[in-house]
A and B are shown apart, each in its own frame.
Chain A
Amino acid sequence: MTRSISTETLEQMYEIMWRIRRFEEAAGAFYQAGRVKGGIHASIGQEAVATGVCFALRPGDLITSTHRGHGHHIAKGADLNRLMAELLGKATGYNRGRGGSMHMAAFDVGSLGAFPVVAAGVPVAVGAALGIKMQEQDRVVVAFFGDGAMAQGTLHESINLAALAQAPVIFVCENNQFAVSTRPENSLAVRDKVQWATSYGIPAWSIDGQSVDAVYDTSAEAVERARAGGGPCFIEAMTYRFEGHYFGEPQVYRTREEVDVERRDRDPIARLHDRLLARGVEPTTLDALNQAASEAVEAAVAFAEAGPEPDPETFADEVYSP
């Protein structure tokens, strides 16, 4: 099922993955400096999943995200400035400072929002797919969730409902090996997620989530299928969370060595770097893409820093729609 992704597309993915990583490194720096008090859940190490999936989508397609959702938003095309401003709780942020890192949303590019209650975004994605189907629109929905969500009843109910309705939704499980501190083998009776998903009568794949090519290929097939009326399907992307559950989390449940090996051998950005070199792309071109991503994030930081705090008098605005 290998599709031939153009070198140009892979280069775009490379820059996006660096944008995600630089964005979250900047978020980590804000946390270290005490500038951001709320919990920040970084997806560093998982960039290929968000990127590969979102590159298979059209601008009008929709996603639901999670507490670990910066990457989903960046890959879906959200404005970096407004994302960073939201992280800092500024009036210029996407949510005007009411959401923060865990509640990012960018309706302008099809993000229906991050749902930090585990699995809570999944039924919303199914409902959005039902709405799309009822309105006979040519759109699909991706529900992102982690391996921890596999233990939630809502997730299973959602797959069942989507399968019954043949709703155009793609369930994307980012298996980063940890539900906070708990490994899947300690929380899921059935290890094989493909077996689990196919028991609902939908196609499922388990893929290398550190390979953006593999993620893109499988996602493109799933999206085509859903868009053509073929109904829902399920993708498990095997990945790894390089940071703790949140910045500052002590990580007593794994060794330094384990993380070092993952960073050394399974870094999705390094892999794509090598792949592009193998395709004959000049190292200077790759450096320039990395540099462009860094500059975009630096500009976003400057934008966010310059933005005003929300006017305290507006704290009760928009609880209700007029």
Chain B
Amino acid sequence: MTAGHMREITYLQAINEALREALAEDPRVFLMGEDIGQHGGAFGVTRGLWDAFGGERVRDTPISENTLAGAALGAALTGMRPVLEIMFLDFSLLALDQIFNEWAKVRYMYGGQCTAPVVLRSPQGGLSWKSAGAHHAQSLEALFVHIPGLKVVFPSTPYDAKGLLKAAIADDNPVIFLEHKAMYGDRGAVPEEPYRVPLGVADVKRAGDDVTVIAAGKMCHFALDAAALLAKEGIAVEVIDPRTLKPLDEETIFASVRKTHRAVLVQEAPRTGGVAAEWGMRIVEACFDWLDAPIVRLAGADVPIPYAHSLEAKVWPRSPDIAEAIRKLVALEI
């Protein structure tokens, strides 16, 4: 692509464009979800698609998450490529029987007789969106990462969102495509031409030699803010966005840690049992001899997400926390 074909659009517009292109390119692709038709979705991600493609391919559905997930699989088994929107990822918990027990397993337990090309798109996360509270702001990626058979994607930029969604829809496996609801309005450069970002490939968002920070979604932006601040203090931070949480691009992560010898892992989700724990363990298994300092983890607190702003503000790490953790780590004498 050339710079001449790039333009600035939002994360939300990038996802909308990916869906529009996929619908136009492949008659097997269709969308289903609650209020995604004329209404354009709770966040407006599917706006305009019902007008362009009609109610058969942009299907409004009843509020029946588990059945929608099962129906998406059934359609896929007849050769379709459904993209299911669940309004908030918190509501996907109603659909986990189908997603965990069927989407993830049918190919394996049926001995390769079928594939399950289904995509679940759903917004997760809190932070600067609104006081969404306990049932509309969780970060649940670790649940899906845990299940063999699923792929999990979590883009942090409009460019990655569009390219990864195109790749997810083209993939023959079930893909959980997580969108950060606080980033829908974020702008970034996106080519006009169709393109895909391959699943399972991390992106070095900023290069540096002193410390590796691994962070996805909104946390990747906080890490980049911290890195910009620390550059003025003479600390060169490398920021890696895994982009795909499963399968994890270990090579990019390991190469960075072997270069910087220090790792800081950041996640928005509650601390216990999260993806950062998995990243840290893999680094220990593969890069122990290269590490000059303990691995540091920053994460959301192990609490349900509260409503009041003063309480909510305590839940998640932000760029000053990341910067401070890096300063301490770099200053550490081993």
Size class of the contact patch on chain B: 35 or more
Stretch at the interface among A35-43, A126-134, A205-213, A277-285: A126-134
> Is B70 at the interface (CB under 8 A from chain A)?
yes
Cross-chain contact B78 with A131 (CB below 8 angstroms): yes
In Å, the complex CA distance between A120 and B69 comes to: 10
Q: A134-B30, A320-B173 are in contact. List 4 more A-B contacts (CB 8 A).
A: A105-B110, A127-B74, A131-B76, A161-B68
> Is B80 at the interface (CB under 8 A from chain A)?
yes
Q: Which of A107, A117, A160 interacts with B114 by CB under 8 Å?
A: A107
In the complex, how many residues of chain A place their beta carbon closer than 8 angstroms to a beta carbon of chain B?
Answer: 48
Interface bits A305-322 vs B (CB < 8 Å: 1, else 0):
000000000000111111
Stretch at the interface among B18-26, B58-66, B210-218: B58-66
> Is B158 at the interface (CB under 8 A from chain A)?
no
Q: B66 — nearest CB in chain A belongs to which residue?
A: A154
> Is A103 at the interface (CB under 8 A from chain B)?
yes
Q: What's the nearest-Cβ distance from chain B to residue A78, in Å?
A: 11
Chain A hits for B74, CB < 8 A: 64, 112, 123-131, 141
Cross-chain contact A120 with B101 (CB below 8 angstroms): yes
> Is B56 at the interface (CB under 8 A from chain A)?
yes
Chain B hits for A103, CB < 8 A: 109-110
Q: Which of B62, B64, B69, B75 interacts with A130 by CB under 8 Å?
A: B75
Which residues of A does B touch, CB under 8 Å? 62, 64, 93-99, 103, 105-108, 112-113, 115, 117, 120-132, 134-135, 137, 141, 153-154, 157-158, 160-161, 164, 317-322
Chain B hits for A123, CB < 8 A: 66-71, 73-74, 98
Q: A104 — nearest CB in chain B belongs to which residue?
A: B110
In Å, the complex CA distance between A117 and B116 comes to: 18
In Å, the complex CA distance between A317 and B110 comes to: 12
Interface residues of B in 29-84 (CB under 8 A from A): 30, 56-57, 61-62, 64, 66-80, 82
In Å, the complex CA distance between A105 and B74 comes to: 14
> Is B250 at the interface (CB under 8 A from chain A)?
no
Chain B hits for A319, CB < 8 A: 107-108, 148-149
> Is B115 at the interface (CB under 8 A from chain A)?
yes
